[in-house]
Amino acid sequence: MTSGGDQLTFAGDALFPVAFDHPDWQNGFEHDPEEATRVRLRLMREAAASGEILVAVNGDAFRWVATVWDY
């Protein structure tokens, strides 16, 4: 979603807290765990590369970047 110069990506159930340290772990609701892992990694890489405030890359790991969204 884009508004002015701001962008928001809603990751929904694709990202969950432990996924930042272990993106290959499944949450139990994924019907295709291998595809879920690929999508999760793609989402995190894209968010980190675009500078969105959701994800940062820290070496080989992803880190959640906490922020307040004033909607």
Is 6 a domain residue? Answer: no
Is 50 a domain residue? Answer: yes
Q: What are the tens digits of pLDDT across the range 9-43?
A: 777 777 777 888 888 888 788 889 899 999 989 98
Is 60 a domain residue? Answer: yes
> Per the structure, how many domains does the chain have?
1
As a whole number of angstroms, the distance between CA 9 and CA 54 comes to 8
Is 8 a domain residue? Answer: no
Is 5 a domain residue? Answer: no
Kindly state the DSSP code that residue 38 receives in the 8-state scheme. H
Is 9 a domain residue? Answer: no
What does pTM read for this prediction?
0.69
Q: What are the tens digits of pLDDT across the range 54-71?
A: 666 777 777 777 666 665
As a whole number of angstroms, the distance between CA 44 and CA 46 comes to 6
Is 1 a domain residue? Answer: no
Dihedral angle of Cα 55, 16, 43, 64, to the nearest 10 degrees: 0
> What residues make up the domain containing 20?
14-64
Is 29 a domain residue? Answer: yes
